[in-house]
Amino acid sequence: MRVLFSRRWVLFALVVALAVWVAYLLGQWQFDRQSQRESRNEITRTNLAADPVPVEEVLAPGRAVDPQDEWRRVEARGTYAADDTIVIRYRTRNSRAGVDLVTPLVTPDGTAVLVDRGWLETDSRPVEDRSALPQPPSGEVSVIGWVRVDATGRSAEVEDASARSISSSEIGPTLDYPVYGGFLDLVEETPPAAEPLALADEPDLGGGPHFFYGLQWWFFAAMAIFGFGYLAFDEIRARRRGEDPRRGRRSQRRGQNTGRGPQSDRSIPPSTGSIAPVTNDAAGESTNAATRPNSSG
């Protein structure tokens, strides 16, 4: 057992302990994310099942959406400002390219709510002819939509009435009227549009991969502990047999083949020079009695 207190094994144990600790923390982090997702899913289920409420009860101009209110259904009445439609690029569905069309709905008090009217299949080129886009219903419209939280980051920046994600804080300054915080994913509108778009899907309420990721990290921690224990046991067993695992067992076994030492005597290779002839005195002549050929053949 004393070998395990050597410098080499102490350092090895510290490295393994650090790896186990990091794997444990990563696994716990994944389980925490799983718990957070389950909590959000429960709130989302409640919001989806609730009856629609007036938009002003949930949203307010210049105020960010409370995450607890996301996916609530709200109702708004007003007139679409079709000329202020924002094209949201790079929206792919079922491997097909397209865009979302976001149009402000101006309510009777002059405040607008951004409505994502749906998805339109297009090619990957920018939309140049805005007049060819499907138009919203004209006149007064009643809209029911899901409350959504604003996107953040550079993708929400608006340029030439186009963006890559939806944010009322970015779209609002480009308009001449106040805008509610957040936006709506259209659920239904009355009267309907002459050319309806593909509406947004309901949110995914699955648990996601976090639980299995957490198990995976904890499995790595268990494997590290098992591997350290196995190597320590193997080291102790080898020491008891008089072997040195660091130098390898194969060389040790070769050294135990004979009792004369770690290596057997080497055979001396035959000479490559000529064999001196044997002289036959009785015959008065010499003959070559070599049994091996000389180096010159």
What would the pLDDT profile of 118-155 be if each residue is shown by its tens digit?
999 987 666 666 778 899 999 999 999 999 999 999 99
Residue 209: per-residue pLDDT: 84
In this structure, how many other beta carbons lie within 10 angstroms of the beta carbon of residue 158? Answer: 16
Residue 36: per-residue pLDDT: 85
Three-class SS of 240-262: HCCCCCCCCHHHHHHHCCCCCCC
Residue 12: per-residue pLDDT: 85
- CA neighbours closer than 13 Å in the CB half-sphere of residue 137: 17
Residue 53 has which token pair?
């409420």
pLDDT, tens digit (0-9, with 9 covering 90-100), for 77-122: 999 999 999 999 989 888 899 999 999 999 999 999 999 999 999 8
Q: pTM (2 decimals)? A: 0.68
Residue 227: per-residue pLDDT: 87
Angle 37-66-155 from CA coordinates, rounded to 5°: 80
Q: Cα–chain-centroid distance for residue 163?
A: 25
DSSP of 102-119, one letter per residue?
EEEEE-TTS-EEEEEEEE
pLDDT, tens digit (0-9, with 9 covering 90-100), for 267-297: 445 555 545 555 555 444 444 444 444 544 3
pLDDT, tens digit (0-9, with 9 covering 90-100), for 1-56: 666 677 777 888 899 999 999 999 999 999 898 888 888 889 999 999 999 999 99
Strands 53-54, 73-80: pairing kind? parallel
